[in-house]
Chain A
Amino acid sequence: MGNIVVSPHDKEGQHHMMATPTSNNPNGGSAATAKNKSEITVLLLGAGESGKSTLFKQVQFFHGVGITHDQERIELIEIVRLNVLENAKNLVAATQHLNIPIEQPENRETAKLIINSLNTNDLEDPSWSKRLYSLWKDAGIQKAYENREKFQLYDSTEYLFENLDRICSDKYVPTVVDVIRTRTKTIGITDMKFDVGDGKQLRLVDVGGQRNERRKWIHFFNTVDAVVFLTSLSEFDLNLYEDNGYWRVKESLRVFNEVVNNALFYKVPFVLLFNKRDLFEKKIATKSFSKYFSGFNEAEEKNPVACIEYMTKLFLNEITEHPLDTVSVKTLSAIDHDNSKQVFEEVKQFIMTQQHRE
């Protein structure tokens, strides 16, 4: 296991294999997979920000795909800093929206600059590290951050602000953790292939999760051999990115229902991954879980195991058509490298055994 397979004409792709345009063709691909089962296509599905791409990136990293090119590094710096700026902008906008004033005058000045003119190149200047950190620690911003369920904010906000002294420097080199932690909205569909032994290849397909992106999933439904459905445990207090009045859990359940009961997937092994367990455990310590789920026993709401059990039931109840013995449920913390590796290994084993049984 472990060798990354690249398309034959992509010689230079060895170190940083990524999808080539030709490998993405669903029609061409389906014909080949139907005849030749040496390729197992695994779909990563789930609503927006459930962690599909994070898991995808982790799998890439523990299959030897690293950041090798300087050009790539430069682009990653750009992406990380863009994330910092987006988070800062969203937080400042939220203070206005939620009517929480930023307390320190110099932080108000910083906020103005962030909204109006700051760009990623400015962040090379280490003085921005202090200014942004001071803004982050401002009582107003912190109050807004505590109310982050009321607006859209990336999960990585805290991590990025705590690492500003590294990021805001002209010598900044993104680490693997930085890359895992940055959020980029996935557009369209991408895939990667790697060897899993027995002359078999696993083709992992990452997709976008927002409503419009989900309509593109159908292109892969025909060719799929296994589905990994991700859902975020920590989204129980959040609304959708694409529709702010819509509860994320409700959306996830709806999507899960559509996918798991799809006739094309009857015979396909199905893995349900409850992601963001780390965040979830932190969240339920301060927030009420039972407030969002009327059927849940209030006394148990600080117990993560009970909560997850409840969520599992909620999801499994959606299954009406799919045979339950081919469904596996696991929890995951995709930003944790070791945990992802372990869980993905289990998922792979499960899929392989299901394949053999077939």
Chain B
Amino acid sequence: MKYFEIKRNIGYMFYQNGFGNISGYQKEFLTYYLNQFNDIPLVRKHNALFYPFSSEKYVLDYELQSQYYYNQSTSFMTINEMYCYEKFSDEYNVCSNEVDRNAEIVYESVIWATVIIGFLFYLALLTVCKTKSVKRRLTAPYALPILIIVFNISFTSYTLSCRSVNYVLSICFLSAIVGIYGFSLIRFSYLRYLYLFLSKAKSETTIKIHKFLVSSWFGIIGSFVSGFTYACIWMIICIPYIVDQKQYSLQAELNIMNNIGSLIILIDIALNWKKIKDKGLLNFLSFEDPFGLRIDLIYFLCIMLITIVIAICSQFTYDYEEVVTSVLSSLACLCTYGLGGGTAIVLEWRRFILKRRNAVSDNIKQESRLEELMKDDTFKELFKMYCAKEFSLENALLYEELENLKEKDDVLVTVETFKHLFETYFQSLSKYEVNLPSPAKKELVSIYENQQPVKLSLIRNIVTTELMLNLNDTFERLKETSEFKKYSFSRDIQLKNSIV
């Protein structure tokens, strides 16, 4: 209890070389105090061994201050605000007892743990730096952690004791993180919808501009420029606060950064709501998003929640407040590591392990180009549109329906489902009768007449070869269209940039 009381009411800290900008009666008090209590243990000298880089400091003990406070009915709150009301201010620890030291140790070790994790992150990054997941995140995995490391180091006791400089640095780093990651995010979204832009592009110049925008050089330089610019903007906004010696809350910065991220993921969820409802959240996060972009954005949400918790906690006084705050903010830093490429590392390691496990079965399963393309929604839509115009939609519809059945766990197709398939696609003169040879049709009729649940693999065995031949006939012609060429151009770029 005493520790926090001291923290709240700590009287005054001054430097050996002078009193600074203080008012008349404060000076009066100090003179009185120094005359009265010089060499008395109520004034403590800064522990030079524990803080090798700090200048020597003297700090007034709480009891003495309150004693004077009652006598003179005055307060030192203005000065407190300047130096000692900081959450992370290390000055108050100078006059702390045993409890304070423990808190100090926890505070420091949490920060250093975050820094060490940052370096370990780089080691881990080395193992996967050539994978698609890392490449598609461009500069973020390399730039973000170093910024977080420097940001953390600037808050240890070993570094500058000038809070203002700390603020300037931290705002600078955080803005750079937002700028760099934000640029990667925008570039990624742009690449993902590249086909949409290209399909509307009419002139050669427009296509050239798109080609320039997707080049990796533009990406790398652009991300740094964006980080730098964004940092500058925030400096301009914040420096007046610092000069006025008013406290600027870092949380404002964090909140803005999070709001952007949260907004993006909320829009993303809203746009894909149907998919999530149909196929589940897990599918949305893994299959639909092979490089974990959405997991990145969830980190944004986490960071936002953490800052909200920190903001709420700072409204109350309680034991170990500093410890709780530093642990929470370190968690936010860890989330930023995840944002910068931690997701990519985990995904790639997991993929590596799974690949080794499934190496054998992978070789057996070979997919045709069309089957591979059909996994891409943009292509599927384009293909279906073309099929409709060539009057062969039935094949694409049947393919889709069989694929959907495959995703469900039950390998047995129920009588009702087969009845639906048969009456839609297989029966003569049905709505979407598929062009199948006589033997295949006879087999399907006999299954229909059996009225028994049937294995999906059996239906696929009968139908797939012919269905793929049918689809390929249409696909051969689709390949010659300008629409497909545009699609294929954007897809090649996406593959090169590891977007898909």
Contacts and interface: CB of A to CB of B under 8 A. Distances in A.
Given A16-B480, A18-B477, A242 B437 contact: yes
B322 interface: no
B473 A185 contact: yes
Nearest to B485: A12
Q: Which of B386, B390, B429, B471 has the most CB of A within 10 A?
A: B390
A19 B477 contact: yes
Contacts of B436: 242
A187 B438 contact: no
Interface stretch (A161-169, A204-212, A337-345): A204-212
A24 B482 contact: no
B481 A244 contact: no
Interface string A6-45: 0101111100111111101100000000000000000000
Interface in B388-445: 389-392, 394-395, 428-429, 433-439, 441-442
Nearest to B391: A216
Interface residues of B, number: 34
Nearest to B442: A244
A115 B394 CA distance: 28
Contacts of A210: 435
Interface string A155-185: 0000000000000000000000000000011
Do most interface residues of chain B lie in helix, strand or loop, or is the interface mixed? helix
A301 interface: no
Contact of A242 (B385, B391, B435, B477): B435
B437 A13 contact: no
Interface string B471-500: 101101111111101000000000000000
Contacts of B471: 187
Nearest to B390: A188
Given A9-B482, A187-B474, A243 B438 contact: yes
Contacts of A211: 428, 433
B392 A11 contact: no
Contact of A185 (B429, B470, B480): B470
A145 to B, nearest CB: 19
B469 interface: yes
A13 to B, nearest CB: 7
Interface string A228-247: 00000000000111111100
B474 A242 contact: no
Given A187-B392, A189-B390, A18 B480 contact: yes
Contacts of B480: 13, 16-18
A219 B477 contact: no
B293 to A, nearest CB: 31
Interface residues of A, number: 40
A21 B438 contact: no
Contacts of A261: none
Contacts of B442: 244
A219 B391 CA distance: 9
Nearest to A244: B438
Interface string A263-305: 0000000000000000000000000000000000000000000
Nearest to B432: A212
B438 A186 contact: no
B437 A21 contact: no
B144 interface: no
Given A10-B482, A208-B392, 8 more contacts: A13-B481, A186-B473, A189-B392, A190-B390, A212-B394, A212-B435, A216-B392, A244-B438
25 contacts: A9-B482, A10-B481, A12-B482, A19-B481, A21-B390, A152-B437, A184-B469, A184-B476, A185-B470, A186-B473, A187-B395, A188-B392, A188-B473, A190-B390, A208-B392, A208-B435, A211-B428, A211-B433, A215-B433, A219-B391, A240-B438, A242-B435, A242-B436, A242-B437, A244-B438
